Amino acid sequence: MLVKARVRLRGARAVHEAEALVDTGARMSILSDRLAGEIGVELTGRELSFISISGHRLRAREALVQELELEGVPLRYAVVAVAELPEPVRTVLREAGLDEEMVIGLLTLERANLVPDPTTGALRRVEAFILHGA
């Protein structure tokens, strides 16, 4: 079962709201070049390289989104990867009724204290914890 999430992105130019795929195999959340340009992200200058969920190698640029809201949890200055998503990935997302311009990754989930529940296809909140020595 696919895990999905309600996402609201606020950039320098626009807001984008959609239902997106949560991919715990993806370290970073990924936005398409088109969506990043539309909402207005701030590129950091860092270049990245990934293997996509379809097995394609992606070259990406690191960027900051002013706010990424995930299932109602606002994350200011979220770090994302900006890349051209391969057409096979876009097709899978589109056929699943999900936004084909973004994928939510593990770092975003951790920052929002959310974990995927594969039995329901939804995210659920968890308490953050730290290890404390006695």
Give 51-109 pLDDT, tens digit per residue. Answer: 766 677 879 999 999 999 999 999 999 999 999 988 988 999 999 999 999 999 999 99
Average pLDDT, the chain: 91
Query: Where does the pLDDT of residue 32 fall: very low under 50, low under 70, confident under 90, or very high at 90 and above?
Result: very high
Number of residues that this document lists for the chain = 134
Least confident of 24-33, 66-75, 116-125: 116-125
Question: Is 80 exceeded by the pLDDT of residue 134?
Answer: no
Please, what are the domains in the chain?
3-125 (2.40.70.10)
For residue 4, list its beta bridge partners: 21
- pLDDT value of residue 85: 87
If residue 115 lies in a helix (H) or strand (E), which one and from where to where? Answer: strand 114-117
Phi, psi of 36 (to 5 degrees): -60, -40
What is the rounded CA–CA span in Å between residue 97 and residue 21?
A: 10
- pLDDT value of residue 128: 67
